[in-house]
Every structure is written in C-alpha cells, then in structure tokens.
Amino acid sequence: MTAEEKKPAGSWEPTLVGFLCNWCSYAGADLAGTSRIPYACNIRIVRVPCSARVDPLMVLRALRDGADGVLVSGCHPGDCHYQVGNLHARRKFIALQLLLELAGMDARRFRVSWVSASEGRKWAQVVQEVTDDLRAAGPFPHNADDAA
Amino acid sequence: MNARYYTLRQADLPALFDRARGDYDVIAKRRDANGNLCYGPATSFADVDFTAEQPRLSAKACAFPQIEELTRYRREGRTFTDATPAAPARPALLFGVNMCDAAAFEILDKVFSWDYKDDPYLERRARTTLFALACDALQIDCFCDRLDFPTAAVDLIAYRRGDDYLVEVRTEKGAALAEKYAACFGPAPAAEATGPGATSPPAAKKPPLLEEARPQLSRSFDHEDWALLAGTCVGCGTCTYLCPTCHCFDIQDEGGPAEGRRLRVWDHCTGRTFTQMPAHQPRDRQFQRYRQRLLHKFWYYPERFGPILCTGCGRCITFCPVKINIRELVEYFGGLKATPPGGARRK
Amino acid sequence: MTPLNAELQAAVRRLFDDGRIQYFLGYVEDYGHTFPAILTPASDLARLTFDRRSYHNLARFLDEVRGAKVGLVCKACEVATLNVLAAENQLARENVVVVGVPCPAMVDPGRLNADSSVPAGDDPALWQEKCRRCPERNTPDADVFVGERVSTPPPAPGWPLLEEHERRSPAERRAWLAAQLALCIRCYACRLVCPLCYCRQCFVEDNKPQWLDKSADGENNLHYHVIRALHLAGRCIECQECSRACPVGIPVDLFNQVLSRDFAQRFGFAAGRAPDQKAALVDYQRDDKEDFIL
C-alpha cells in the first residue's frame, strides 16, 4: 500500500525522492527492510553507484517535477567504495545547500545522510525524521507566494 | 473631431490615462524591481513614467511575447482536455512608446504576414494601438536619424512642446482614440495645425545609412576584418532580445504526462546552437554568427523585401556586454568609413 | 592621451615588433565607449586605452586566439582568472604575456554620465562593488608593467548585497529573488562573458536530458542561476562581469558571492591564487566541516 492509500482520504502526504549509493545506503535500506523495521513509505528510491554520482541538477529536477523533498544518502566519509567519492560529494552538497538557503528554500527539503550497509536502524530513523519534517513543511511551493 | 493635430496638456495626461484604462489594457513605461525603465501593464497613472527615455527592452513583447503558449493540454486518465489559454480580448494601448519601438511594429507586421499568417502575432497586433512619445534628441548610441524607417502605422505621436504636447493623429485607430477621449485634447495652435516644426525621428542630417552602405556591404562577406571586429562577440541574446525588430523564435514542448504545453519562445541567431545540427555547424565561429545578424538586417532582408530590420534604437550597442557597434560596423564594411571601429586597421 | 595609455601603447608596439606576441587583447576607446578589442601587428594602437571603464575580463577572449602567442592587459581580476585557467589545463602560461597596470578602480556602469563618460573625482561610492574589496590594485605577476604603481586602499570589509539579502526571511528571499528573476530573459550574457564558462556544450544546451526548459519562467530561471553558480563554485574569482553584463540589472553574482565567502571561511580557500591550485570542489579534506548531514 502506498502512503496515500493508507492515510484517510483528504490528508496530504509528502513525496520524498531518495538518491542512495549502492554500496552503503542502499544496502542499509535493504537491511532495514529485511529486518522488518517499519518506517514511513513516502520515499522513492533511486540507486546510484556513489553519492558523488548525484548531480545537483538531479536534485533540482526532482523538486521541479513533483518531489516535496530530496534525500541523498551515501557511505560515511572514509568508507566510500570508490575511496573518495563521498568526500567530493560532501563539498558539492555543501555548495548546493548554501545556494538553496540563499534562494530561501526550506532547509527540510534537501537532506543528506551517511548511512552504512549495517545501519538498517539508522536508515529507518533518518527516513522517518526526514518524512515527518517534510510533512510539517508542506507541499513544495512552486510559486514565490506559497508558504515555505 | 477629425483634425490631424491636437494639443494635449501635461495636466490632462492623468485623465487621458484613466479614461483609456476603462477601455484598454494600458501598457506604459514604468520602473521595474531595480528601478530601471521598462514597458509594463499600468493600472494607475502614479506608476507611469511618461518620458522619452528608452526602456531596456523594446515594446515588441506586446504582440510577440517572449513566451507564447500555443497549446496546453491536461490529461486525466485517458481523457485529454485542451487547456489552451484564450487570446486576450481586450484592446491594448501602448501609452508613450518610443518611436523606434513603435515604428518596429510595421516592420514586424510584414515579417509575420508574408508567406504564413502568424495568427498569435497578428491577433495581438490588431488589438494594439500605438501612442508614441517622440524624443527630443538622440542619445549616444541611437541612430534613427540614419535610417528611413516607416512611421505610417504609428497611430498617434506626441511631440513635446514646452510642458505640453502636440499630438499628431496618423491612422484611423488613432483618430478613433482621439475622438473617444476628445475631452482630453484641445485644438492645435494655428501655426502647427498643418504640421509640426520638429518631427520624429529627427530629420536626417546625414544620408540614410543603408542606401550608401548597401552596395559595399553586399561585397563585404569575405572581408578579413570580420574575425577581429566581431571576434569579441560573446554570442549572448542581449542584442536580439532587446531589439525591437528581431523576431527569431523557437518552438519548445514542455511538461509531462499530466500537463504540457507547446510554446513559442524567443531565440537568438547569435547563439552557437542556432545553426547547430548533428552533422554540421555552418557557422562555427562566433564572428560568422555576428556577421550573419548584421548582414541579415542590413543587406539580405532589405534586398528581398525592402525594409531594413532596424530602427536605430541603439540598445544593441548600449547593452552589448562588449560594446560591439552595429552602426559603426555597417559604416565600415559598407565603405563609409576608412578606419574600422577601435582603429584596428590593417596597414 | 594619458601618460599610462602612451606607455601602454608603446609597450604593446614593442611586444609586436619583438615578435613576442601575435595578438594583443586590450581595450580601445571609440564612439564614446571603452570596449575590448583583438589587436594585431597591423593594428593602429592609437586608441588603445586602460581607463575606469575597462571592466571586462579579457581572459574571456583567449579562446578566440587559441594557439597563438598573445598579450593582454590585466587587472588583478584577469591574473586570478589566468591562474584558474592554468590550473584547469586551459592555458599555456608561457604563451601569454601579461601587461600589468595600476588599476584606478572601475566606475559602476550605472553611475557613468548620460553620455557614458566617467564622472569627475574618485568617489568610492561610484566604484564597482568588487573594487571596494580589492586587495591589490597593481597587477601581480605581470611580465611587463606600465605606469606608476599606486597604493591600494584597505579593502572594505563585508559583502553588502549578500548581507542585505541574508537579513531577509526565507519567504522574503523567495519573493525578492522571484521579482529579480522575473526580469531574467535568459540571454545568457552572464554565462557567456565569464572566462571560466568555457564548456563546449553547457548544461543549458543539453537535450538528453533537457535539464531546463528554454522558457524564461517558472523555476527555470532560478535553477539556471543556481547551477551556474555551482559549476563555478571554487573557480569564480569575482570579477563581477556576469552582473555587469546583465542587460536587465539583476545582481546575478550574488549566488557566486555566497560560495566565495563560505569557501574562504570554511576551507580557507580563495580561487585564482596560484596556477597550480586545486579548486575547492576538486579538493577535499577528511575533516571538512558541515552541520547538516545526518
């Protein structure tokens, strides 16, 4: 059942797009699933080889095309399958976060996490927290006069 | 009231505006978010800047907007609905437009009704009345006095006379407006009842640019100085988008499964991708793209169709990031000047 | 003609005569304006100038004379650009002759007189914003220096436009930006005057996928400016040519400024300091600090 089908009719559920690195976060999410840890099911997961693969253009397109928020998740610094991908990604996402803050975008809509393959429980907590924050933030304001 | 000339007092301008607003969507000069002059919808005379100063963008967007929705669809399940917005029905009044911008419409009318009747343009154009405000003097970059551009389609022209204006009615549309708001106009002084002392554009002091330059211009295509003089062109769309007569456009489709639209959007021939094809790029260097724009305006188009695609507004010089000067280049490549701009002369 | 221009013209003539350069990128004055020009040994140098309307970043035009030996008159702005280009393997520094000058600070184009001439006096209120922050007016690392070196006033602290924007709430930021970007006509002058936007195919020209719609409305304009700033992150040397070139007066370099300021504070990084410097997004530290990653 989708998040929309579970909730009573008329209440809005956020759409969260997740970019997960194959080696750590995707495996961690898989572990959360096999461990049957419940967490919000609003997230739509896109698997990428490494968090460094995520182009900020993808984040913006997701937001433009209907996502209310985006979560990028990768290996912890020092544990990247490609050695240093996530270290590059970290600087890139710092830059993107600064620009989105300048643009007045709600900080709850672009999130980054480090989740390892063994952190199934952390994954569930992260997604739950991000989804709850998004629900509070509301639908993405595509017009400047919409609320945050 | 069917005289050719009237007096319009400065004090009666607000009243004229307010009456017109009842019948027209009034587009006037106003200040944008950064305090720069622009053409825009005005609902209060307090927002209007009735000045001969030149707004950054021309007035062509009134009939040829930067984004025109040709079609819009919506889909729900297997049902598609046509959600194309209706064309605006209310007549529009360009209130205090520059002559260089107003005269451009006659040039664009011809372009958009030649081999294909461009309905989106022609419908907007038909509902638009042009009330021009003539300039008193040329600015540093404008050169309308060098061009013989047509002014027959400008519906009314206001010439400054001290604090007030002498208004010339040139078309039936203009006469209809003067008649409708007759209370705002007074009789012209006898001395000017048959013709204004000063016209706009200012009477040509030098020979028209084209007539002298065209023969040599048409032999200048392979001139070796193009690469240097147009070599600093960066290929942006500034000159094209600000130009009152430029009219190149692209058709773009946007949207997705639920909703989409087909648009006409402005395009610029100075851009690299304008002639980029998968197999071939006929204008590979930037100077070739600049050369094309200049020659199209001053040679190819006039040779085929008559009018020059320019009214001398000078925006392409003022706002060019590298101050390339189309007027100077026409003079140089047209053989009117021995020295190229900047003095980059070959010995 | 000013003494500086006379010296400049003589120096360039010598460079041509000695065969050290095949082209010179400089400013010329004509029809009331100062503007960039590509000069050759056959050129008449009488109009060559360096004045307070010499805003441009002449490194932008190196691509037009690629492969040749070229000289150019440089402010500190251009020298920083040359360093970035060298670090990115876009430049053979030995083929470039840098002619240095004492920069008098550029007058903001919006503050020129109606006839485009430079107002009299030296009021800092008339300068371009970047000039108030300039740490060194005399071109560093010049191969040839013309004119008398001048003292550089202490740089004014802070980033006024950026700080003004940061006093706005998120909703006010969105509203202010929306009003500014509603003016954007996607002419791409900002991108095309930038010497560091040299990609043969820019992301705005991609069509597989087409990242941005061509229409100049909705979120397209904002996304364009955000990504442009991101692609210049750690590379932009703040010549402010992008904002200066904008025909509708949007301060587009605001996006670049926030990254420049933050990278200086966070990574101790400033672009363009040396020709072998690793750009901020090319480099990393194991302990790079951030406070938003879960």
Count of domains forming chain C: 2
Domain that holds residue B262: 209-343
Nearest residue in B to C198, CA atom: B234
Q: Using an 8 Å CB-CB cutoff, list chain C residues near B263.
A: 214-215
**Full 3-state SS string of chain C:** CCHHHHHHHHHHHHHHHCCCCCEEEEEEEECCEEEEEEECCCCCHHHEECCCCCCCCHHHHHHHHCCCCEEEEECHHHHHHHHHHHHCCCCCHHHEEEEECECCCCECHHHCCCCCCCCCCCCHHHECHHHHCCCCCECCCCCEECCCCCCCCCCCCCCHHHHHHHCCCHHHHHHHHHHHHCCCCCCCHHHHHCCCCCCCCCHHHCCCCCCCCCCCCCCHHHHHHHHHHHHCCCCCCCCCHHHHHCCCCCCCCHHHHHHHHHHHHHHCCCCCCCCCCCCCCCCCCCCCCCCCEC
Nearest residue in C to A79, CA atom: C286
**Pair (B224, B180) in one structural domain:** no
Whether the predicted pLDDT of B136 surpasses 90: no
pTM of this structure: 0.95
**Pair (C94, C132) in one structural domain:** yes
**Eight-class DSSP state of B130:** E
Identify which of C47, C192, C193 has the shortest CB distance to residue B342. C47
**pLDDT, position B210:** 67
Of the three residues C113, C145, C177, the one that is the final residue of a domain is: C145
**Pair (B244, B335) in one structural domain:** yes
**Pair (C246, C183) in one structural domain:** yes
Distance from CA of B336 to the nearest CA of C (A): 15
Count of domains forming chain B: 2
Q: Using an 8 Å CB-CB cutoff, list chain B residues near C43.
A: 343-346
Of the three residues B145, B164, B192, the one that is the final residue of a domain is: B192
Whether the predicted pLDDT of B189 surpasses 90: no
C17, C56, C115, C187: best to mutate for the B interface, most B CBs within 10 A: C187
**pLDDT, position B63:** 97
Does residue C202 belong to any structural domain of this protein?
Answer: yes
Q: Chains touching chain B at 3 or more Cβ pairs under 8 angstroms?
A: C
**Pair (B99, B173) in one structural domain:** yes
Does residue C284 belong to any structural domain of this protein?
Answer: no
> Which amino acid is present at C145?
F
Interface ipTM > 0.85: yes
The H or E element that residue A86 is part of is helix A85-102
| 3 state SS of B73 | strand
Is A141's Cβ below 8 Å from some Cβ in C?
Answer: yes
**Pair (B243, B282) in one structural domain:** yes
Is beta strand C23-30 parallel, antiparallel or unpaired with respect to C48-49? antiparallel
Q: Using an 8 Å CB-CB cutoff, list chain C residues near B317.
A: 31, 33
Does residue C58 belong to any structural domain of this protein?
Answer: yes
Does residue B203 belong to any structural domain of this protein?
Answer: no
Does residue C210 belong to any structural domain of this protein?
Answer: yes
**Pair (B147, B225) in one structural domain:** no
B54, B323, B326, B345: best to mutate for the C interface, most C CBs within 10 A: B323
Question: Which pair of tokens denotes residue C28?
Answer: 């010329």
**Pair (B110, B213) in one structural domain:** no
**Pair (B47, B91) in one structural domain:** yes
Tens digits of per-residue pLDDT, A57-77?
Answer: 999 999 999 999 999 999 999
**Pair (B118, B234) in one structural domain:** no
**Pair (B235, B306) in one structural domain:** yes
**Pair (C117, C194) in one structural domain:** no
**Pair (B105, B249) in one structural domain:** no
Is B345's Cβ below 8 Å from some Cβ in C?
Answer: yes
Is C182's Cβ below 8 Å from some Cβ in B?
Answer: yes
Alpha helices in chain B (DSSP H): 13-23, 99-111, 119-126, 172-180, 209-217, 226-229, 238-242, 286-295, 301-305, 315-318, 326-333
A91, A100, A116, A133: best to mutate for the C interface, most C CBs within 10 A: A91
Does residue B201 belong to any structural domain of this protein?
Answer: no
Of the three residues C111, C145, C179, the one that is the final residue of a domain is: C145
Does residue C178 belong to any structural domain of this protein?
Answer: yes
* Domain extent listing, chain A: 34-116
Tens digits of per-residue pLDDT, C207-247?
Answer: 889 999 999 988 999 999 999 999 999 999 999 999 999 99
**Pair (B138, B270) in one structural domain:** no
Q: Are B136 and B160 in contact (CB under 8 A)?
A: yes
**Pair (C201, C116) in one structural domain:** no
Tens digits of per-residue pLDDT, A97-145?
Answer: 999 999 999 999 999 999 999 999 999 999 999 999 999 999 999 876 6
Does residue C278 belong to any structural domain of this protein?
Answer: no
**Pair (C209, C121) in one structural domain:** no
**Pair (C131, C172) in one structural domain:** no
**Pair (B244, B129) in one structural domain:** no
**Pair (C34, C167) in one structural domain:** no
**Pair (C140, C245) in one structural domain:** no
Identify which of B241, B265, B321 has the shortest CB distance to residue C245. B321
Domain that holds residue C236: 160-267
Which residue ranges in chain C fall short of pLDDT 50?
Answer: none
Does residue B125 belong to any structural domain of this protein?
Answer: yes
Contact B343 C47 (CB under 8 A): yes
d(CA A91, CA C280): 8
Of the three residues B143, B160, B192, the one that is the final residue of a domain is: B192
Average pLDDT, whole number, for chain B? 91
Is C170's Cβ below 8 Å from some Cβ in A?
Answer: yes
Is C98's Cβ below 8 Å from some Cβ in B?
Answer: no
| 3 state SS of A76 | coil
